[in-house]
Amino acid sequence: MTSGGIERGSFGRLSDGTVVERVTLRGAHGFEAAIIPFGAALQALVTPDRDGHCDDIVLGHDDLDGYLAQRKFFGATIGRYANRIAGARFVLDGETVRLDANNGPNALHGGLQGFDRKLWRIVELSDDPGPALVLERESPHGEEGYPGNLAARVTYRVRNPMELSITYEATTDRPTCLNLTNHSFFNLDGARAERQILDHRLTIASDHFLAVDATAIPLTGPPRPVDGTPFDFREPTAIGARIRADDEQLRLGRGYDHNFCLASGMSLRFAARLEAPRSGRVMELLTDQPGLQFYSGNFLDGSTAGKGERLYRQSDALCLEPQAWPDTPNRADFPSARLDPGQTYRRSIVYRFSTIGAPP
């Protein structure tokens, strides 16, 4: 079904026969975003290059079966808590909350069956101001160990004319911790281009990052300055320029897999810029989140076939995930991720696309 800048169609069926739709939101110049309710995931993001050729720039699968077969987080909404919580537990108001450990001793991306493995409901489609899709789900008290009955909402909207915004909202009936984000894997040369992202030039508006231990949990102590380290992306820098430097943090992460600390405040602000010299595509990322996890695709190991039956390998894509800092529920010195009854969690991500000319 097509209506204005929105198209709906079947993407596949769950094992119980439930149909999972694919909703495409269209902008200008061939720009479009396709979303599936399974995992409230961004399944495709099509943008033009400097010559006007449009291509999908996010990793994923061509049908639902690929998403069901393996949990790889491609484009998914992550919750209840994105990133890691040490020891799969935290203390809230004097009581220990025990989570499901699914990443060594830690809880990662919501546990064994996070929001990325749930079927969300399509509750609204709108063309004003710009094509939009609203998805909702209720996460019951105790799901993966997290307290509180949580009502969550995700809004995808295309506007201006090559801009995608994602807004997360949630309420709870008892104190809890919450951290939602999108886990898209980007390659601005195209998801089927068979080119790595090591030549992509990255800028991150951050003076500090969180050093981690061998299980990717932030070390005690304050954030580390990026100055003089391979983590300094304050000026545009090729991702591959220092990724193989003899640095303990790069060894632990097998590359970049670290939280960058953004300026404080709740307003939408510039966080990162990604440029692909070959295609000329540019993505600017704005958010109101306190952190940005930069992951350079280190654990893509060729075991997963994605779009076009292409095997995804190390450095085939990268993630830029705006979020609360990892392990925040265990760290009083980190910006809080607590949500109380009567409050509304609301966080936003904006991806803004343009192009640059060919390099000299």
Q: Which positions are annotated as active-site residues?
A: 183, 321
First to last CA, the chain: 45
Tell me which H or E stretch contains 249.
helix 248-253
Identify any residues that bridge with 170 across adjacent strands, giving them in sequence order: 152, 345
Cα atoms in the Cβ-side hemisphere of radius 13 Å centred on 225: 2
DSSP symbols for 70-132 = ----TTEEE-SB-SEEGGGEEEETTEEEE----BTTBEETTSTT-GGGSBPEEEEEE-TTS-E
Q: Which structure tokens are listed for 254?
A: 């097998």
Whether cis (ω within 30° of 0) applies to the bond prior to 80 is yes
- How far is the C-alpha of 33 from the C-alpha of 51, rounded, in Å? 20
**Cα–Cα distance between 110 and 105 in angstroms, integer?**
14
Could you give the CA distance from residue 111 to residue 175 in angstroms, rounded to a whole number? 19
